[in-house]
Amino acid sequence: MDRTEESHWVDLLSKAQQEQLRWLQDHRCLVEATHAPADPLHDLPPGFVLEVLVNKHGVVKIRSTDLAQAFDYVFAAAKNLFEFVEAYDSTWRGVESTTDSEAKRKK
């Protein structure tokens, strides 16, 4: 996928899903979509891989041909991971603080 194709998938999301994407990005998630060619060995048609890197703590990844359904899946999984980690580790914050942002800019 070239740069245009890499960001084009975002335009295909519903308004609600675009808001959910912003929520993920605000919580230190990197969301990427890449082309997946057909895989005759496993009888998979061409599609894409949607991947969410969750604040460097985990990865949620799905291969699909249905963008809306795949996004709903990775959003729910990433959000559940955030809720689990925040419930058991009070020192971990998903949302980037202004102190963190300032430290990154100084580097």
- Is the pLDDT at 103 greater than 70? The verdict is no
Tell me the average pLDDT across 33-56.
92
Prediction pTM value = 0.75
- Cross-strand pairs, 95: none
How many domains are there within the chain?
Answer: 1
8: left (phi over 0), alpha (psi -120 to 50) or beta: alpha
Containing domain of residue 63, as a range?
3-106
pLDDT for residue 91 is more than 60: yes
Strands, sheet with 29-36, edge to edge from the N-terminal-most edge strand? 29-36, 47-54, 58-64
